[in-house]
Amino acid sequence: AQSVTQLGSHVSVSEGALVLLRCNYSSSVPPYLFWYVQYPNQGLQLLLKYTSAATLVKGINGFEAEFKKSETSFHLTKPSAHMSDAAEYFCAVKSRDDKIIFGKGTRLHILP
Amino acid sequence: DTGVSQNPRHKITKRGQNVTFRCDPISEHNRLYWYRQTLGQGPEFLTYFQNEAQLEKSRLLSDRFSAERPKGSFSTLEIQRTEQGDSAMYLCASSPPRQGATSEQFFGPGTRLTVL
């Protein structure tokens, strides 16, 4: 069965600093992986997705993620944090029967 | 706005009451999903429809929960005899006809249920 584990329920970075949100996956088949962002009292917005075409995936708002099979990881990064990046971020994997299985989320805090 | 819409956005009810939520998917999306998100957790799958057919129900969906999508367009999720443990954000998502395994799910803003 597929699953994802997000390391760190809260991450704080200074404005302008590198953002790194960690995600490890477990899957018996080549995974389809996603990162979603959720702003307060809103639904989920897709940041980016990995579909086996390229290991480095670029998303919206300057985010990107790299698929590393050897490490079973799909960490999310952004070179320079902005105050507007403060939100909750979810790593997710798509199951073979089309369900999306989410991690528990990482709340990103941006320090001025 | 052509995104997924959900109504109401917030619902406060007393324990034991019935509640019903509505989801309107993106036009021509044939798949519709319901998820539940409790505080501090990621969304968890509840059920999904392909057109009007309900194809799968999670074991999280107790007998008090029922979902319908009568004409293959909007969907309703009803909770009977609500319990405090039902308090959560209920998210709806829709996706277009499957294109490989990468069709994206588009999420609505959710309905936040508070059971007193």
Please list every residue in chain A whose beta carbon sits closer than 8 Å to the beta carbon of residue B57. none
In this structure, the strands spanning B111-115 and B10-13 are: parallel
Residue of chain B nearest A39, judged by CA positions: B109
Q: 10-residue block means of pLDDT along chain A (112 residues)?
A: 91 97 89 92 89 88 94 96 96 85 95 94
A-B C-beta contacts closer than 8 Å? 61
Mean local confidence (pLDDT), B37-44: 90
* Partner residue facing B101 (CB), from A32, A36, A105: A32
Q: Return the percentage of chain B with pLDDT > 70, whole number.
A: 95
Residue of chain A nearest B34, judged by CA positions: A99
Q: According to the model, what pLDDT value does residue B59 have?
A: 86
Please list every residue in chain B whose beta carbon sits closer than 8 Å to the beta carbon of residue A45. 107
How large is the greatest C-alpha to C-alpha distance in chain A, in angstroms?
A: 43
Residue of chain A nearest B5, judged by CA positions: A43
Q: According to the model, what pLDDT value does residue B101 have?
A: 55
Which secondary structure element, helix H or strand E, spans residue B10, and what is its range? strand B10-13
Q: According to the model, what pLDDT value does residue B102 have?
A: 61
